[in-house]
Amino acid sequence: MNAYKAAGVDVEAGYEAVRLMKQHVSKTFIPGVLSNIGGFGGLFEIDKNSYSNPVLVSGTDGVGTKLKIAFIMDKHDTVGQDCVAMCVNDIACSGAKPLFFLDYLAVGKNKPEKVAEIVKGVADGCILAGCALIGGETAEMPGFYPEGEYDLAGFSVGIVDKDKIIDGSRAKKGDALIGLASSGIHSNGYSLVRKLFNLNGNDDDKKLNSYVESLGCTVGEELLKPTRIYVKVLHELIERFSINAVSHITGGGFIENIPRMLPENLRARVNKGTWEVLPIFKMLQSLGNIAERDMFNTFNMGIGMVLAVDSCQADQVIQYLKEKDESAFIIGEVIEEDNGVDIC
């Protein structure tokens, strides 16, 4: 037996994983990709004719403990989309278009078919974001991760013309706040979620496979719904309307993320009842008897992205999104006070 394989690392399995994932990776290639999977670096050529003063924007993130749900459910083809979404949605808040993505997958034992499933999810996310998966790393780390478990993270690089950067400086008193609907919990707060559902290794399968009428699916199916990728719809809005500030509602919920898009002298006022809080959040709040402010400081509550737009265009934005079958709501306004957010 090969000495490295005897130590727990199967290089042949690594080769097979690369072979299996190539079919998914190649589907993400867009103009600008110069390299193919298997090289030492991913190459991407910028179209200089499309930008007068290009600025690169980068973002990095992981899936977090949502992966624990994937392990229990033995379903691995969607968490890759979560990984991509957490990066490219952040980039899009600056008005940037994601160009490429790289992933890092660390496994306890390399099972090529499972690795290919995970990478398929990453590739699916890249296709939804319109960017290329130009490289990555799969590390087999026996003794560090238990067999059957893994961690997944990544980063993306995007581009925007300097004079088109969205940094909140154009936001003003009276701007309307528009919320784009989330698909569910997305990829934040799962340590609390797992505690609330008492996922402690005892009968976890039974708990996750239980059907809940209000959810319209099993608990596990709800918890594994992939994070929505807003890149394409956001860029359509940027081309047509005055989008003055953008916030991705991730860890920290409304309380931490909405103020980040506004200057120090502006504050967000969010009106409860202007959108339907998804059933999963009502369920979580009930399970833990969680204070409302804590819910808004942890979860997205059914709103995955918030835009500040000229008030005179708010109804047009909503109508445009409706025609695109996008669920969106006018959820509040920008007021002239110290930076922060009021939920009332």
Is residue 181 very low, low, confident or very high in pLDDT (cuts 50, 70, 90)?
Answer: very high
Per-residue model confidence (pLDDT) at position 178: 98
Q: What is the mean predicted confidence (pLDDT) over 18-39?
A: 83
Per-residue model confidence (pLDDT) at position 313: 97
Per-residue model confidence (pLDDT) at position 164: 97
The DSSP secondary-structure symbol of 175 reads P
pLDDT in tens, 228-256: 999 999 999 999 999 999 999 999 999 99
Question: Can you tell me the distance from the alpha carbon of 316 to that of 313, in angstroms, rounded to the nearest whole number?
Answer: 5
Closest CA to 280 of 300, 266, 309, 304: 300
> What mean pLDDT, rounded, does the chain reach?
94
Question: Can you tell me the distance from the alpha carbon of 213 to that of 43, in angstroms, rounded to the nearest whole number?
Answer: 48
Per-residue model confidence (pLDDT) at position 172: 97
Rg (the chain; Cα; Å): 21
Predicted confidence (pLDDT) at residue 7 exceeds the cutoff of 80: no
CB atoms closer than 10 angstroms to residue 46: 12
Per-residue model confidence (pLDDT) at position 82: 98
CB contact at 8 A, 155 and 293:
no
The top-level CATH class assigned to 3-164 is: alpha beta
What ranges do the domains of the chain cover? 3-164, 176-343
Q: What angle do CA 260, 265, 266 make, to 5 degrees?
A: 60
CATH superfamily of 176-343: PurM-like C-terminal domain (3.90.650.10)
Is residue 131 very low, low, confident or very high in pLDDT (cuts 50, 70, 90)?
Answer: very high
CB atoms closer than 10 angstroms to residue 317: 21
CB contact at 8 A, 179 and 278:
no
More confident: 93 or 23: 93
Predicted confidence (pLDDT) at residue 8 exceeds the cutoff of 80: no
The pTM of the full predicted model, rounded to 2 decimals, is: 0.94
Q: What is the mean predicted confidence (pLDDT) over 272-281?
A: 96
